[in-house]
Every structure is written in C-alpha cells, then in structure tokens.
Structure 1
C-alpha cells in the first residue's frame, strides 16, 4: 500500500509512466496482449484501494465473526479486490473486460450472500444491469478490430475520428450502467442487501467507481464528441433524484446508498465538463469518507440489533461516542464542510462549475442538488444523534465498540480529517485561475445555513405529513421514480421468460433431440466410411484415381 503510494509520488515528480505488455497470440493481424499501464494515477488509486480494503478486511474479521460462512466471505472479498486491481492497471480492453466481468460476478455472489428471497432478487437486478456494461465493452472490442489493437492508449485520435465515435459511445453506455446513472439507477440501493463491509467496499473504491475510472482513462476520446451535453443532463437528473429519494427514505443504508449515487453523479458531471484531474481527486477523497460512513453505520446497526430504521434510533452519540463522532464527521465531509478532506475537492469543483458558461437548467439542478445533500445529511444527524433514544429494550446489548472495529476505522478517519490539503497540493501543482465575487465564494456556505434553517422549520410539518409521505415514498420514491417497476416488470421478467423459452426449446426440447439424432447419424456414417477405407475397400479406388490422373498428365506432355 505505502510502496504503491511512494511510487506514485515518484512518477508524479518525474512525470513518467511505464507500459508493459505480454503477447499471448496473433488473431487476424490483431495481437492479443495483456498490458499493464503503470502511471501515477493507477498507482495512487491502487494505494487507496489497498488501504481501504485492508481496513475493511480487518473490520470484517470482527463484524462477521459469528457467521458460519466467514471464510467464504473473506475469500470473495479478496477476489473483489483482485479484479479491481486488474481493472485499474489496464489500458487494454481485454484486461479491462477481465476486471469488469470479475467485479460483476463477485458482486452478485456477495449481494446474495445471505441467501434469502430479497437478496436473490436484488442480486439478479444488479448482475443483469451490470452485464449491459460487459455487453457494450465487448462490442467496443469488436469495433476496435479496425485499428489492429485493443490498446486505446496507442490509437491515433486525430486520423480515426469517425471510428472513435462508436467506440466512445459504447464505452460511455457501459460506464453509465456501472455508475448507476439514469436509467440504470435502481441496482445501487438494491445492492444494500449485501453485508455492510461489502457495501463499504463497493460504494467507496471498487464496483461503483469502476465506471468513473473507466471514463477517466478514456477521457481523450470522450471530450471530443458532442454527446457530453446529454451526459451532463443525465448526471444532473440523477443527482436531483438521489437527493429527493434520500430525503424521504428511512433505511440508513439506503440513505447512504443514495448519497453515493448523488456523489457519483457529481463526479460524472465535472468529468463531462472536462476536468479530469478534479474528478479523480474527488474520487479518492470520496473513497475515504464513504468507506468510513459505511463502517461506522455498520457498528450502529449492529448495536441496534440489526435495525436500520433511523426513526427507531436517537441519542447514539451518548451510547456509542466514537462511532457516532466518526459518522458525523463523514456526513460533514460529504457536505464539503471546511477543512475536511472533501472540502478541498468539492469546493474547488463548485467554484469551477460557477465559472462555466452553462444555462439556467444546469445551475438550478446543481444548486438544488447541493441543497438536498445538505438537507439529508442534517436529517440523518438529527435522527441518529439529537433525538431521544427510542429503543430502550436494546439497552442491554448496546455499547459494543470492539477494539478491532475501532482500530480498523481510526487510521482512515485520521487521513480523512487531516490530509485533504496534503493531497490537494500533491495533485494540483498547476491551478486553474478561478475568479468569483464574494457572494459566489460563500454560496455553498449560505446553502448549508439555509438547509439547516429549512430542516428545523419544516421538520414538524414533515412529521405531521408522515403517512402521506410514506405512501408517496412507497409508490414513487421507493421504486426509484418507477424505474424499478419498469425494469422488473417489463425488462427483467421478459428477459427471464425468453431465457426460459430458449432453455425449453434448445436445451431440453426438440432442437437438442433432433441435433443429437442427426449428429449420431453423421458420426455413424463417418465411422462406416473410415472402416471401409481402412479395410481396403476404398484404397483400390483411390489408387486407380491417382493412376488415371498420372496417365492424363503424361499424355498431355
């Protein structure tokens, strides 16, 4: 972990990268290679992934201590990290597909880990929507046969502009499915059926961030085409939708999942505006505080006898001081509170967005999504820390803060609190000139103050309308703006019906019966022919043919 980080610093300082390739075989003048791209970005991301995953594995050893399948869980987590490592160091579409497909496969195994109906349905939606990403990556591999190589880093971008449009379009759809943007957003909250350490790893530095990292690697292709405006609209709508859903949600893990969706849309938006370095910086900072958010919430849920409803919590800062404090710090970092790690990235992105020449639609959705992020963060802090404790029957099992759980959290918490400025000066040795008026400089702070006032003013009104809000949540927000209903009823059910139909016809139906009969008939005729040939029945005819052929040649000469 530290070795990768130090090597990344050296590559930043010397401005170098290493391109290592191993050839497997030629195929139709196209070399099938396994390629490694070692630069400062891949090494820095690998160091963060290894740091977070090592702490999560330490956390899992205590959190899953009483689970009967603990060893299987830890093995799947290690596979998850390994496939993410393959994805990070790959400038080649074959090795990218290896990492992407492996992440999808292992994520399905982890989502269905508890082996109940809810976990299975959630895992099915997750794996099918992620398979769309695999499909479009395979299509882009097929299209790259035009270049004679699958290494996108070696493509001549200027002389192959028309071909690159289709490749970038396919990889863009794969990345949108991986980041869970509209219309693929429904799988992200459903993945909360997995154990809490899995959620911490998935939402911080592996599966969800793989799509963002893929677009960062392909940024030279993406930034040349006009569909970035459409991607900007998709990112703003997804950020708006996830903020609204988090306001009306009462499941703690789903609220954190919607916050992840909001932050992924935030990164996607700034990437569409062309600031790749800012997006990568916020990706690293988001991995730090989001992993801590899930780990601390996991301890809170564990102490509440696996209850995840925030209405049944309250006053946890008195009973679980360390976890409650870390959880508050992560929410403050999510809001971009001054001098936390995400402040140096989020405030920079916010000011850069205000400098852009965009229309009112983008400004409205961006600022309102900022307000919603502050609003649901304050709502979670209020319900968990400031309300009276409402589950007195759990007082006998509360105050469980194991030393291993605290040790696994304290190191990343220290980095999250004190090293944001260090990473900013490390990565941004060349700054863009940002010139704003004072009212725009303090606009994010004003939105924060307004969201605090708005929450405490309208909290009683929202509580009095809780039954109407609950019905609206069940039938609209709980279904991800009815996208989940459309996918499950119109797409997944039809997809499964087609799969059952093909299974019945091809695998266990008349096609298999007829094919087997014809195959047996063909093989029997071939065996009879070979037997006659070897028993000298056909050798005479072959010899006569060759003699006749030689006589014709002699007479012609």
Structure 2
C-alpha cells in the first residue's frame, strides 16, 4: 500500500528520483549503483508485493505437508528480492544482478520436487535463461567502452551504430526471458514447479521481466528498425501459443500457453508505440493470471494432483467458490465487459483496428484473439459444464480451507471491480478512438461466435479424444517442433558434452598434466630448496665468500 500511494503521488506531481552511488572508477569508467523511483516502478512493485504476499499466504497451506517447505519459502522470498532489484534499476549492472538471480532461483524452484521430469525441465529453463544473461553481458561489455552503464543516458553519448547493437542485444535478452519464438519451449516445461511458483512466475516476476525491460528501454528502442522484426516474432508466438492451448489437456500447460500468448500481445502493442497501454495491460494481466493459477491449484489439489481436464467436470457442484473465481479469471482473460482486463484489452484491440497495419499482422492478431476465446470456453466446458465420470467421483476431496480462500479474496476483488479506476488513473491524458459501431462491437461478436463455434465443433471433434490427442503430436500441436528440438538439443548435446568434458578435464589428460605434473614440479623444487638450506648451507656460504673475495681482490 505504501508503494501504491507513493506511485499515485508521483503520478500527480509528475516527478521521479534518480539516485546513484559511485563505488569506484577505473580507467575513466565509473562504477555506479543506480536506483530509479518513478510512478511506473513504484506501481509495478506494489503489484508484485501484493500478489507475492497473497501467494506466500496461500503457500503456507498448499505446501504444509511438504518436507522442504522452509526452503520453498526462502526461495520464493529470494525470487521477489531479485525482481525488486530488476524493477528499480536503470543500470545494466544492477539489472544483471536481478536478471541472473531470477534465472538461478527459477531453476531451484523448477527442480523443487527432485524427480527426472522436473530436472529435465529445469535444465532447459536454466540454459535458455542463461542465453538471455549472455546477451545482457554482451551489451554490458559493449557499453563499457563509453564509461557508463546507465541506459537512461544512452541517447546522449552514443552514435546510431553502437546504440543499435546494444538495443538488439537487449531485445534478444527480453525475448528469452518472456519466452518468445524461438525461445518458447521453456515456459510449458516450467510447469513442473509447484503451483504457487507458477502463479508468481507467470503473473508478475520472471516472464514479465523481459517486457518490463523493453518498457524501460522504450525511448531508445522505438527509434530503430527492430520493431518490424519484433512484431513478426510476437505475432507468430501469439498464433502458435493460442493454437497449442486448444489442443492441450494439461490444465497448467493451458494456462502457460495463455501466458505466452498474452506476453506476445504486450510485445505487439509495445511495437505500435503505446507504452502506457502495454504497462496497463501488464498490471491487469498480473492480477487475473495469479488468480487463475491459485484457483487451478486448488482444483488440482482436490483432484488428487490430477491435471488432465478430461478427468474433471462438474467441479462447480463440489468447489463452488474456487470454480467461480476460476471462471471470473477466464472471463477477465477474454476481456469480458467490466472486468479489469476489459478496460485494457478492449482499448488495445480498438487502437489496433485504428492504426495503419499490415494485413499479415492483422490476420495473426485477429485469429489469436479468437483462439483466446476458444480455449477459455473449452476449459470452462471441461471443468464446469461437462458431466463428471465415476473416476472423478472417487477422486474428489472437497477441500477448500479458509487460508486458501482468503488468500484469493483481495486480488479477486481488485480484479473484478478496479479496472475502471486504474484506467482513469493511468490515462489521464487520453487518446480519442473513432470507430464505427460494427467495428466497436467486433470483440463481443468474436466472443459469441467462438462460443457457438465451440459447441458446434464439440459434437464432432472434442468428443473423439483419440484423434484429438493424435493431432497434438503433429507440427501445429507441438509448438511447431520447438519443444522437440530444444529438449533434444539441450538434454542430449549438453549432457554429452558434459560427459566428454568430465572425462577429458576432471579424470583425463588435463587432470594428469595439470595436477600430477604440477605436483611433481613443486615437489622437486621443494627438495632442491631443502637441500640448499639444510644440507649444503655451509658449502654454499663458503663458495659465496670465496667469490666475493676474488671480486674484491680483482678490483683492488
């Protein structure tokens, strides 16, 4: 609440504070630690603290019977701390501290259950995130030539070529952290982590770090030709993730593909130059996506840790409050009127219809919007409307504790009733949108069309689970083979390289030459010095004095 009201004050007074402390300088390069307090960082960190506090409160009950729950809570707090480093940093050194810390702690959280599946998922996650760290380090090394790492001064002391290289590196780093093509495969694999981790990662911390970094770099980024490349990548990622969510049966992976689609949606509106719209949708997405994961965690817990939506159904009769919140989050995801996402998503959709955009981009944007409605209605049908089977009847536990419910009430209340408040708060200087009435109601027409199309298609395809599952293994259902290529490449090639390196370096010729050889060298040197100082000291002293005497007599 303190950061939120401080952000309101900064918006009202239109001020910011730039605090820097110089540690030392070396060869005209200044080593600063910099903190930037403005309305955007303060507002975002207030949302991060609100969501993370509710998730930690939720985790006290959800992870109550886990043997390593203390380690889990420590890792979650480290995750929040590193995200705070990233939010308040206009300096690449402090950004790298938070950026690398997020990757390290996310690896520890993904492999938390310590089985083969979580290890392989964590391995792919940490390798792809290290690629993003590599791009940040390269941009940091390039900026070292100019005496400062503060990107707030980039416009003033760099020419176009140098600046374009740095912005390109930072764009690639943002694509890895926000899981855009071709780095998309780690996001569904990160679902091996516990559900509170997924709720924190996908709402306001790890995945949003990339788009937040691009929002911070917006003044220099929007002047370059990389916008065309980024909007193509975001369109393809949005289309791919929405299409995969339709053919997925794992509940957490469906929500993961939904996060991937919404991240691409934010990148797309960022490329059109609307920074405030992108940031507004980032805040609203954090609210409803955290609630989506928390409510799905209760559903999975009650289904005896089953995540297959085909084995669910009729849950609104057993878990009414959780099912209601889950349906509200899906309605907010779709941009249903008067929910929090409606004020941001409908605004972005209308602005997208106004701008002069390529027909290729409009095609992908329109169908990705349709896919969002489609997989949301599919999840509601499978979880709430579909009749439950006997398997389901035997598995259900009917467990809704007070801690799990109370941890979701506050964010659910904000999600449902505060969308208009945040809209008038962030857009006090508003752009007018002029559209015809038939274009204005196009988003609602898409929603009703997707509902009708789903129930028509359900009679033919969705009841035939075998053919539907078979389609999932084709090109369009396997993330365009990104999942197959990345997992096989990283798990096979890197593990093989590690085995080869251990044979050569640790127990091979390198170890023999560098350890045994150096040991023998030091041993011979020590024996020689020992003979010199202990056994032959008098002889060598006599030789030295004789030599000194000869020199003295010769000079005399």
TM-score normalised to structure 1 length: 0.93
Q: Distance in 2 between matches of 1:531 and 1:425?
A: 87
Q: Distance in 2 between matches of 1:51 and 1:302?
A: 24
User: What does residue 233 of structure 1 align with?
Assistant: 232
Worse overlay, 515-524 or 183-192? 515-524
- Residues 195 and 293, structure 2, Cα contact 8 Å, conserved in 1: yes
Worse overlay, 42-51 or 68-77? 68-77
User: What does residue 36 of structure 1 align with?
Assistant: 35
SS across alignment from 2:22: strand
User: What does residue 73 of structure 1 align with?
Assistant: 72
After superposition, give the CA deviation of every residue in 1:464-518 in whole Å (9 maximum; x if it has no partner): 5432221120344553221121122234422332232223222322122212355
Cα RMSD over matched residues? Answer: 2.4
SS across alignment from 2:283: helix
1:393 Cα offset (Å):
5.6
- Residues 351 and 433, structure 2, Cα contact 8 Å, conserved in 1: yes
User: What does residue 406 of structure 2 align with?
Assistant: 407
Q: Distance in 2 between matches of 1:232 and 1:263?
A: 14
User: What does residue 216 of structure 1 align with?
Assistant: 215
1:392 Cα offset (Å):
5.5
User: What does residue 378 of structure 1 align with?
Assistant: 377
1:220 Cα offset (Å):
1.7
- Residues 248 and 477, structure 1, Cα contact 8 Å, conserved in 2: no
Does the alignment pair 1:121 with 2:120?
yes
What does 1:474-553 correspond to in 2, within 5 Å?
Answer: 474-477=473-476, 479-520=478-519, 523=522
User: What does residue 317 of structure 1 align with?
Assistant: 316
User: What does residue 166 of structure 2 align with?
Assistant: 167
User: What does residue 58 of structure 1 align with?
Assistant: 57
SS across alignment from 1:322: helix
Q: Distance in 1 between matches of 2:197 and 2:155?
A: 40
User: What does residue 446 of structure 2 align with?
Assistant: 447
SS across alignment from 2:348: helix
User: What does residue 265 of structure 1 align with?
Assistant: 264
1:525 Cα offset (Å):
7.6
1:520 Cα offset (Å):
4.0
1:21 Cα offset (Å):
1.9
* 1:524/1:406 CA distance change after superposition, 3 Å: same
After superposition, give the CA deviation of every residue in 1:125-160 in whole Å (9 maximum; x if it has no partner): 111111100111111110001220111112235752
5+ residue gaps, structure 2, are none
- Residues 155 and 220, structure 2, Cα contact 8 Å, conserved in 1: no
5+ residue gaps, structure 1, are 552-557
Q: Distance in 1 between matches of 2:92 and 2:176?
A: 17
After superposition, give the CA deviation of every residue in 1:435-476 in whole Å (9 maximum; x if it has no partner): 111111111111111101101111111135432221120344
1:521 Cα offset (Å):
5.9
1:70 Cα offset (Å):
1.1
Does the alignment pair 1:463 with 2:465?
no
Q: Distance in 1 between matches of 2:241 and 2:518?
A: 55
Does the alignment pair 1:300 with 2:299?
yes
Q: Distance in 1 between matches of 2:95 and 2:264?
A: 22
- Residues 157 and 164, structure 1, Cα contact 8 Å, conserved in 2: no
- Residues 332 and 339, structure 2, Cα contact 8 Å, conserved in 1: yes
Worse overlay, 516-525 or 16-25? 516-525
Q: Distance in 1 between matches of 2:358 and 2:340?
A: 30
User: What does residue 47 of structure 1 align with?
Assistant: 46
TM-score normalised to structure 2 length: 0.93
- Residues 532 and 538, structure 1, Cα contact 8 Å, conserved in 2: no
Q: Distance in 1 between matches of 2:525 and 2:272?
A: 65
Worse overlay, 201-210 or 148-157? 148-157
SS across alignment from 1:249: coil
SS across alignment from 1:207: coil
Count residues with an aligned counterpart.
Answer: 545
What does 1:99-248 correspond to in 2, within 5 Å?
Answer: 99-157=98-156, 159-248=158-247
User: What does residue 334 of structure 2 align with?
Assistant: 335
User: What does residue 94 of structure 2 align with?
Assistant: 95
- Residues 311 and 391, structure 2, Cα contact 8 Å, conserved in 1: no
User: What does residue 435 of structure 1 align with?
Assistant: 434
- Residues 199 and 293, structure 2, Cα contact 8 Å, conserved in 1: yes
SS across alignment from 2:429: coil
